[in-house]
Structure 1
Amino acid sequence: MSAVQQATPFDLTPAAEEKIRELLLEEADDELCLRVFVTGGGCSGFQYGFTFDDDRAEDDFAISNNGVRVLVDSLSYGYLVGSVLDYQEGLEGSRFTVNNPSATSTCGCGSSFSI
């Protein structure tokens, strides 16, 4: 299935859009994107990851909107469909969070989940 036919894997909150835009502007690299991915591990079985990346694979799904560029690899895509990516600042620090309706359980820190 080509990336053009796929639905957007997740929505971005205004706070997430603003932070991604800010981080990308700081890096001053027009090819750089925020990559959101899922890997095995964490206390609940899977964990979310976030990194800057300027290397796009053929099967990556790209979200681009008003200076916000996000990539999702084809393996992570299915785990993220229907999710909402947010950015939160609080007493515990600042971080991106994923509200994933497919997750049957999450850990206390919110960075790992199970399906």
Structure 2
Amino acid sequence: DRLKQQLSDPMADRIVETLRMAREVGGTELVPVLRALSVSIRSDAALRGEVESKQSWTKGAAVLGVVAPWAVLAVMSVRPEGAQAYASASGVTLILVGAVISFVAYRIMLRVGRLPEPRRWFA
């Protein structure tokens, strides 16, 4: 099961395809080709790691964008006038609609900020 999981990696696909091509073509270029492939794979992995670490900014902005209006609402509801404004049926409806919109907006922000998964060569 672990071997199957490791071989379901797009990087493993690149290695397998390189080895298959080297076996079919033959020649003495296998070592330089494997070195070039290792450099390429390391570069791709490093770049992806860097971009994923920067994605935390997108997630942080999404959380801040969703939480900020609710923090303002909480502060406003501390005062009697603010609490009274949202105590009516239309106030509760406004809060519920706002909660739904906040949830949908948060999900959209996370989807937009998500990195695409590397494509498989063999699927």
Using the size of structure 1 for normalisation, the TM-score is 0.20
**Greater strand content:** 1
Using the size of structure 2 for normalisation, the TM-score is 0.19
Greater relative contact order (Cα < 8 A, sep 6+): 2
